[in-house]
Chain A
């Protein structure tokens, strides 16, 4: 009876409101995760239809099915949708749904951030797809190389749709990355030390880290290219000191890690599902962690292998070629660990296992052609042919789609609480597997026979005709397979019989709950003593449901979950998470207003949305915290822990550290661009440099020192003054600098100054917020977490602003 009452009380606190209001305001991780998954599948279907149109066009020579302009939009949209609107959001959704459950938590660290990411993804993706329906879809290829994507060769809004739409969607990816990393580091079940984390969490920790450091170069590149298109700042125009190669560097600095960002979550699913199917413990847990970390870093040193034919010196090509071959080693370590696990167990040929076998075959083949393409002489021959298209599909479909299909069948009973009704999934597998190999194996051959990628038609007599027809037939077989998969899922949701809990006999915590999962996941939280909690405590789920774990209480209407020490897993404090809110959707709507205004060329209107975003951010932060000290809370089992607003170092602090890390990465990419153009681009040195002033950097440095010192003393007004001095110094530099439209030097200098102004301005806003909160009674010696977070942002603003001011006058000093 007590357990039932606890269930009712927790449901009242955690539930999503009914009706449309609930849809718009929900911040629950299960809701948001499922929405991401469904939307990503819808985008996958759209991308798939585009692929069918491409294959229809290429099925026969001299096809008149679509013209070149439409064809350009088809292949650009197919690639962009699959990469940005399907693959990344799909694993984000799966992770958002699963991760708290696997970690033994009730939600993610920043529920409203997840919801904001969802709305940004939905709005950004919708803009891109609507542009396609209007006939103005991006058409310069999914990696949008200038000068083709520049104003001269793409005068319409096609490229703007890509640049603004994708950047809008990338806000969602950055939100997810910070959310996932902090949740893994801080929101685990007590006792879940790092070496007891489920292997999926290790994969996602590495993935989130890669996203935090991998996406900023793309975001920077997109901003620079959009600014060039909108305002004529010549970052990529060689006539004015720019270089199109800078875009390629920035794009592939993101683009190659992106392949592993997509692969690692799928490999995490493989490492989770495969031991269950093999009825064995995962072999080489430590070796796999080492391989994940090696991949996470090495994958950042390969980007130039996408640029082997751009005229880069041979020695540099050699560095990237060697690194590209090297990255196969940690991938192979994982493959051998999986094979060893299968060997040591008693594998069951259930449906998820069938898809894992498909993954093994297709992904290993893709990896081998990857090693071929890592060799410079071979790449020079195969570059921009259908061979490359075939390779990337083997890697991405093998390394992501097959594992995701396995994951869908493995975790669907968790989502629906139901069993499959018919054996349609097996038929779907064979159609997809045979269709895929028919399509893309043939494309290896057409590529080796010299067929370029991205051509809308080809003549007879090239030896490509029969192979292309077979590829097209294979493509349509795949489409039938995916249609069957969809039917299978719909049947399971609608007609499947309710099944017992944990149908696979899995050992991870997500199965220690009723399915479908309640809104709060666990009525009480587990204490973990083993990497596979359900193997040592098979009745754990029942005991947690009876309220025998930690935080078995519903008090004050608070959404409570445990925050732990990230290494030892010892309980640290109780996080009080925010409830359902209008803030995520309204913030996303304001951001959408900004992006749409830019897209429409309303450059005077677009900035008006930014104060609205800042005001919503203020409201967002204002709803955190508490007016009075409440002291330690009873967490059960003898633990008395402070609530998050009385904790010394909150999840918000960690989130801020990661957000600033992402920002610093963007700035580093900007500095790389600055140095790259100085060193490589034609038409340098520039006609005029910024005057070698001493006073301006001195003003910025003095402001920075004032801000750093006084923020520590609690003198917020003085700290605000310091940040204002930085803004003034940088504005003065911009004022005296040559016009940014005249040369890439001036454009890059203006971008650097803008970075400093933005961060000093943000620091001013946060300092003003802290001052207002102190006046409103939100702060006390116990409740000082916000002040620490504000200091992080303020110090970063000070350091960035002073550095930018000094950097901008250095060339003038040296000249």
Chain B
């Protein structure tokens, strides 16, 4: 069971990040955070970027933690899914950098 949890941990990290950021995006647009200007950009983008950075840090830490055992096929699979979680969190939210938030 532990192995299955470790295999799933990286993608679960991405899934949590996805729910958090997509949810925040919906709430922010509904409450007009994009119309609140702050130093560095609108409040919506700043909140989302902060959440993204936190998720990146968490999934990176998780990937490093899961990378310890490379001696068995399952150990290597755990390593791969751990880094998948981080890479997916990085790639999925790249639109944060350029795309209008609530248009």
Contacts and interface: CB of A to CB of B under 8 A. Distances in A.
Given A195-B72, A301-B18, A315-B25, A294 B84 contact: yes
B102 A294 contact: no
A300 interface: yes
B35 to A, nearest CB: 13
A287 B80 contact: yes
Counting chain B CB atoms within 10 Å of each CB, the highest count among A301, A317, A330, A676 belongs to A301
Nearest to B23: A675
B27 interface: yes
B18 A290 contact: no
A780 to B, nearest CB: 28
B40 interface: no
A315 B21 CA distance: 11
B30 A315 contact: no
B95 A326 contact: no
Contacts of B93: 319, 322
Contacts of B99: 314-315, 317-318
Given A286-B77, A294-B81, A300-B15, A318 B95 contact: yes
Nearest to A297: B11
B15 A290 contact: no
A676 to B, nearest CB: 8
Contacts of A713: none
A301 B74 contact: no
B88 A679 contact: no
B7 interface: yes
B36 interface: no
Given A290-B81, A297-B15, A326 B74 contact: no
Contact of B100 (A286, A298, A314, A679): A314
Nearest to A304: B22
A680 interface: yes
Interface string B1-25: 1111001100110110010011101
A317 B12 CA distance: 21
Interface residues of B, number: 41
Interface residues of A, number: 32
Interface string A299-320: 0110000000000011111110
Contact of B95 (A297, A315, A330): A315
A706 to B, nearest CB: 31
A298 B3 CA distance: 19
Contact of B102 (A285, A286, A315, A566): A315
Interface string B46-86: 00000000000000000000000000111111101100100
Nearest to B83: A290
Given A314-B100, A322-B94, A194 B22 contact: no
B22 A289 contact: no
Contacts of B95: 314-315, 317-319, 321-322
A633 B100 CA distance: 67
A290 B82 CA distance: 9
Contacts of A298: 11, 14, 88
Nearest to A295: B11
Interface in A141-197: 194-195
A185 B5 CA distance: 13
Contacts of A45: none
Nearest to A298: B88
Given A314-B103, A316-B22, A287 B14 contact: no
Interface string A314-337: 111111011100100010000000
A468 to B, nearest CB: 38
A319 B21 contact: yes
Contacts of B78: 290
Nearest to B29: A313
A292 B99 CA distance: 31
A195 B21 CA distance: 35
Contacts of A680: 26, 30
A616 interface: no
Contacts of B7: 289-290, 293
A194 B18 contact: no
Given A289-B77, A680-B30, A297 B100 contact: no
B74 A297 contact: no
A679 B25 contact: no
A194 B74 contact: yes
Contacts of A289: 7, 73-74, 77
A293 B77 CA distance: 9
A468 B13 CA distance: 47
B73 A293 contact: no
Given A290-B84, A315-B101, A567 B30 contact: no
Counting chain B CB atoms within 10 Å of each CB, the highest count among A297, A317, A676, A680 belongs to A297
A679 B31 CA distance: 9
B18 A287 contact: no
A567 B7 CA distance: 13
A680 B102 CA distance: 12
Contacts of B75: 286
A313 B11 CA distance: 25
A814 B1 CA distance: 42
A322 B92 contact: yes
A296 interface: yes
Counting chain A CB atoms within 10 Å of each CB, the highest count among B23, B95, B102 belongs to B95
A294 B3 CA distance: 15
Contacts of A294: 11, 80-81, 84, 88
B53 to A, nearest CB: 16
A199 to B, nearest CB: 11
A195 B74 contact: yes
A297 B25 contact: no
A287 B77 contact: yes
B38 interface: no
A383 B23 CA distance: 26
B21 to A, nearest CB: 7
B88 A323 contact: yes
A187 to B, nearest CB: 15
Counting chain B CB atoms within 10 Å of each CB, the highest count among A287, A315, A316, A330 belongs to A315
Contacts of B2: 567
A243 to B, nearest CB: 13
Contact of B3 (A314, A323, A567, A675): A567
15 contacts: A194-B3, A195-B73, A293-B77, A313-B102, A315-B95, A315-B102, A317-B95, A318-B95, A319-B25, A319-B93, A321-B95, A322-B92, A323-B92, A567-B3, A676-B26
Interface of B: 1-4, 7-8, 11-12, 14-15, 18, 21-23, 25-27, 29-30, 72-78, 80-81, 84, 88, 91-96, 99-103
Given A313-B103, A314-B99, A323-B91, 6 more contacts: A313-B25, A317-B99, A322-B92, A323-B18, A680-B26, A680-B30
Interface of A: 194-195, 285-287, 289-290, 293-294, 296-298, 300-301, 313-319, 321-323, 326, 330, 566-567, 675-676, 679-680
Task: Kindly list the 5 A-B residue pairs having the minimum CB-CB distance in the complex, ordered from nearest.
Answer: A318-B95, A297-B11, A286-B73, A290-B80, A290-B77
